[in-house]
Amino acid sequence: MSLILAMIWLVIMIVLVIVEVVTLGLVCIWFAGGALIAAVVAVFGGPWWLQLIAFVVVSAVLLVFTKPIAKKYFTDKIQKTNSEDLIGKKVMVTEEVDNIRATG
């Protein structure tokens, strides 16, 4: 039974890694790490509740401690434009905005 649970955790991990690769949003990678540790717990015969606790704790620890570091290195390359300075400010539109003709 523990081998089956380990396989389930590994499948969950693979799905989460695929979702992360497709989205590149730094959303699922933390939970993939938790699923990997839960699979290790399952291989060593840990009960399902211990696997679930390991998944939640490891995912939370990875999220809290590594997300700020990863976000710093991955979002630095985003170049801000002048239009971002207008967020929250009032502006006056001087010509008609037409998204189809790309005017305005």
Judge contact between 55 and 33, C-beta under 8 A.
Answer: no
The per-residue pLDDT string of the chain (104 residues; one tens digit each, 9 = 90 and over) reads 788 999 999 999 999 999 988 887 777 888 999 999 999 999 999 999 999 999 999 999 998 888 778 777 766 555 666 767 777 788 788 888 888 888 87
